[in-house]
Structure 1
């Protein structure tokens, strides 16, 4: 039987490459309608909102506290804004009736977002309406002032972007909450995707006491290699470009080859690693190329993309997963704009190029580097310092686990922006470091077939992973499955259980393939 869903907007903003990326999955809280234990908000302020203006807090250079009256389902609250040295812009909203929980959400791309952007206000208000004290920040720089990674010329701003901004902001929020309510925060939660996912992981690794529960979607945890990968892919496509018109043809060929390997011909590939797709063998090849066929050089380009980044013959980062080129209900391919762009640089290239020029070669400058002639074999070994600042690849989560921390990560198997194998490989490294059984006690990964970057795609992208996280942290209920839906015209068009890795959703053999009740989580 199809599970009912309380639907929420999951709109993904298709931004130009030079705008801050918006990559927050909007489905948190949708399963809390019938959870009175999560709805109690009984703590009231013990001082007037305006009194916070006369308080002093460490490193806070400016602070403005204003009470805002209730509007609709958004309760009355004290809105606190200000700056933490040197340039961290923050916003903390303290509801008139507090549930003693803190909710902090993340950033996208190279961040620097306007905290009053509609998408961020919507995320804030969703949490505020549940009684959460909500927190956000801009990672320490303003994207209007700096173009993509240009802020990295200032080491202090780069360190704030890497990890410090989240850490000092959540600490400030907890201090302000204690002053305002005369009560300490009972539970602190993180919710972010993409850069926000990386921020969550880096918090667990470097500041294990900051959050009790972390929801990290599609974390760009290996930021360094991800951006090098973006340049690598652009170079491959420069040799034999793939046209946007060819993408649906490629997507159909991949699906025809690999759809049924998981036991269900349902338009989804449960695990793309099982997809044995060979462009030279499985595509129509023609010498001149065209909308419905590919040249031999284009087939080789596709093989290069699938082969990953190779330095002196050694693969240092996994290749593009087949399935990411798939098309959504509107006919738009996942590669469109992210990898294949005919009018302007692809997003992968835009993000990768600014990384190479501003961050990769620290402490040396990379401003003179031309991505078209970048010598991977010679220059890649010089990349070092930046990894310690921005990457979240440490598999030792022992301190986070000892403090009782719980973490859920999720990744779309068809994510065209970030490599989903990055999430799988990190989880495997934690299992190797800490043991599979121990890891499963506090950290679980859920892979989402057919989902693009944080949301959308041709799979199920509407799911609430935040409520199970709360249940795990507060009630000890380990998440064994997360129910997900694909929504069309406001109604579920398909449902599917998301399973804790390495389990996958297997078709039981009978019933509607679009009904998640006919699938069960099983070991592959």
Structure 2
């Protein structure tokens, strides 16, 4: 089998601190007089000329712009200076504006000095946010591989820390900061950025976009649901839209499953080396379903691998290439997820999928090997994200459960503990009628090998949209792409270099609905080593059987290999329309 190259451009290093700083950040753009297009990854979109607009005032003048009408008393611009950034090897100058929207939403807006093409992009943050990313950095603009707009600096971009900073998680008990993180922070930053655009260039932006992944994907969907006119186009990657579920039952189950005691007080059972043994066996059993010998699982739901098939023989003197009975149990529990003890109903819409095992390292399993010193389960990322999000999820609940007393086998846990803040933190309302009516376009995407968020939740949300709005209506404004072998917001053994910025700008600005999107693998020098198209879910890419299977030109669109809808699960009611909850200072 040819060695596949995990790609660095979109891969994200996951910070595992108590405050869970950005899992991934998203977005920075570029400057050009045309919409993103060409360069292979854009799907052949024809450029739409938009004139470059130059500033009408000096950058320093933006320091005096009043933003109290947006954030309230105490909101202010702290600096406005011209800075230089290297974008695609060239120097691009930005008027970089920093400020605070009350009470504590730190933000930064980057306005191109000589390359603005009348477009604006708000950039999502990841994890529990809490840090301010640099919107002038091209590396933080995801899903834009080879997009000319992103490569040349044509967008005004903005980012925010969502109302809190640092490693102290006490902010999560503050009702106003809860609201700022849940929905308000990105919205008021967008309003501030648009006001600065008008002041700097003497005109408003022509098009507005939101680009985000992980929690940034949740923020993207929150925008479509709460503020349907904020953005013309949205790209939502691997969305943690089911925030309440994701950061309690989902990650908590990973901790309980991979523990010698079955609680957070134990040590890990499955380690990095054995996750790789498991992954190798899964690939051998289920890989290559595209028709090419690539080892990738086109749709893991068609795989029926049993970890017990690689269990070590009784009395084995070496367990390096097999799984012990305890490791088999852990792997099986991670794949299967919890069920209600009375009804047998699944508690989750999905778990980590077959083919994602190599990516579990650092999340579901430790980064060390089984031959190294034992690692407490409290050192796992899954434990840290649960404890970090604890107050956001359970504030206001009749009692405060902990990771060991979550109702993993009791469906009433949803109504008793997760329902209260569901309409505040979650972004799973499938009724996007207002966003559609406003002309908005939405691209959802997820990697099949995601180690943090199961792609089955995103599929379940997409199906809920279809059920609520009708498939034809959804097809008018939304697309879902699920990419084989790709991890959380990038990385993995698949093809994580993908340009969805071109797709969303082309759809918004040229009315060209996306279909085939080329994805790429690159080597350590960023040279393309292989390509593969992806198609709107549930269609798949199929190798034609002739020509180089590393070339995307030798694939065609094929019908779904799995057609069943998401089975019933205990939290499915969270994916039905609901009244949104607001608190604290209302956003304008």
Contact between 1:99 and 1:131, CA under 8 Å: does it hold in 2? yes
* TM-score, normalised relative to structure 1: 0.89
CA distance in 1, matches of 2:459, 2:476: 17
Change beyond 3 A, Cα 1:33–1:76 = farther
Contact between 1:358 and 1:366, CA under 8 Å: does it hold in 2? no
Q: Which moved more, 1:15-24 or 1:264-273?
A: 15-24
CA distance in 1, matches of 2:545, 2:173: 57
CA distance in 2, matches of 1:166, 1:515: 39
Residue in structure 2 matching 1:138, options 158, 161, 164? 161
Could you say what secondary structure the match of 1:410 adopts? strand
Contact between 2:135 and 2:159, CA under 8 Å: does it hold in 1? no
Residue in structure 1 matching 2:255, options 214, 234, 240? 234
Give the structure 2 partner of residue 424 of structure 1: 459
Give the structure 2 partner of residue 185 of structure 1: 205
Residue in structure 2 matching 1:397, options 432, 450, 455? 432
Change beyond 3 A, Cα 1:391–1:122 = closer
Contact between 1:28 and 1:464, CA under 8 Å: does it hold in 2? no
**CA deviation vs aligned residue, 1:485-504 (integer Å, no higher than 9, x gap):** 11113222221001110111
User: Which one has more relative contact order, counting CA pairs under 8 Å at least 6 apart?
Assistant: 2
**CA deviation vs aligned residue, 1:447-478 (integer Å, no higher than 9, x gap):** 11001111110010111111111000000011
CA distance in 2, matches of 1:518, 1:36: 23
Q: Which moved more, 1:55-64 or 1:374-383?
A: 374-383
Contact between 1:17 and 1:346, CA under 8 Å: does it hold in 2? no
CA distance in 2, matches of 1:366, 1:324: 35
Give the structure 2 partner of residue 347 of structure 1: 381
* Pairs within 5 Å for 1:47-62: 47-57=57-67, 58=69, 59=71, 61-62=75-76
Q: Which moved more, 1:215-224 or 1:378-387?
A: 378-387
**CA deviation vs aligned residue, 1:297-325 (integer Å, no higher than 9, x gap):** 33232222222232343212122211110
Give the structure 1 partner of residue 324 of structure 2: 295
Structure 1 stretches lacking a partner, 5+ long = 1-6, 326-332
Contact between 1:27 and 1:462, CA under 8 Å: does it hold in 2? no
**CA deviation vs aligned residue, 1:275-308 (integer Å, no higher than 9, x gap):** 0111224555546782222233332322222222
Matched, 1:458 2:493: yes
Give the structure 2 partner of residue 335 of structure 1: 360
Contact between 2:29 and 2:152, CA under 8 Å: does it hold in 1? no
Give the structure 2 partner of residue 264 of structure 1: 292
Residue in structure 1 matching 2:243, options 190, 210, 223? 223
Contact between 1:108 and 1:193, CA under 8 Å: does it hold in 2? yes
Matched, 1:311 2:340: yes
Structure 2 stretches lacking a partner, 5+ long = 1-6, 40-44, 261-267, 369-374, 561-588
CA distance in 2, matches of 1:265, 1:127: 33
In the comparison of the two structures, how many residue pairs are matched?
Answer: 506
Matched, 1:470 2:487: no
CA distance in 1, matches of 2:91, 2:435: 33
Q: Which moved more, 1:369-378 or 1:455-464?
A: 369-378
Q: Which moved more, 1:27-36 or 1:334-343?
A: 27-36
* Pairs within 5 Å for 1:375-524: 375-376=407-408, 377=410, 379-380=413-414, 381-489=416-524, 490-524=526-560
CA distance in 1, matches of 2:491, 2:543: 23
Contact between 2:37 and 2:47, CA under 8 Å: does it hold in 1? no
CA distance in 2, matches of 1:494, 1:26: 24
Residue in structure 1 matching 2:276, options 238, 245, 248? 248
Give the structure 2 partner of residue 77 of structure 1: 94
Change beyond 3 A, Cα 1:509–1:122 = closer
Could you say what secondary structure the match of 1:171 adopts? helix
Q: Which moved more, 1:105-114 or 1:60-69?
A: 60-69
Could you say what secondary structure the match of 1:404 adopts? coil
Could you say what secondary structure the match of 1:75 adopts? strand
Tell me by how many angstroms 1:388 deviates: 1.4
Tell me by how many angstroms 1:246 deviates: 0.9
CA distance in 1, matches of 2:204, 2:29: 24
Residue in structure 2 matching 1:43, options 50, 53, 74? 53
CA distance in 2, matches of 1:304, 1:364: 28
CA distance in 2, matches of 1:128, 1:80: 21
Tell me by how many angstroms 1:10 deviates: 3.2
Contact between 2:542 and 2:557, CA under 8 Å: does it hold in 1? yes
Give the structure 1 partner of residue 234 of structure 2: 214
Matched, 1:91 2:108: yes
Contact between 1:28 and 1:465, CA under 8 Å: does it hold in 2? no
Give the structure 1 partner of residue 22 of structure 2: 21
Change beyond 3 A, Cα 1:471–1:29 = farther
